[in-house]
A = this chain, B = another copy of it.
Amino acid sequence: MPHADAARHERVFRKGASIHQPGNHGIAWRIAAGAVRLDRIEHDDAVFCGIAIAGDVIGTETLLTGHYASLATALTPCTLQPWVGGTPSPNELLQMLAQAEQRAGDLVNLRHGSADERIYRLLALLRRSQPRPDDRNSITLPSLRDIADITGLTVETSSRVLSRMRRNGLLGQRIKGAIQLVWPLSAPYPAFN
Contacts and interface: CB of A to CB of B under 8 A. Distances in A.
Interface in A135-193: 152, 188
Interface in A22-38: 38
Q: Assembly of this chain: how many copies?
A: 2
Q: How many A residues are at the interface, by size bracket? A: 35 or more
Contacts of A103: 104
A2 interface: no
B47 A109 contact: yes
B97 A49 contact: no
Contacts of A91: 64
Nearest to A96: B97
Interface of A: 38, 40, 43, 47-50, 60-61, 63-64, 69, 87-91, 93-98, 100-101, 103-105, 107-109, 111-112, 152, 188
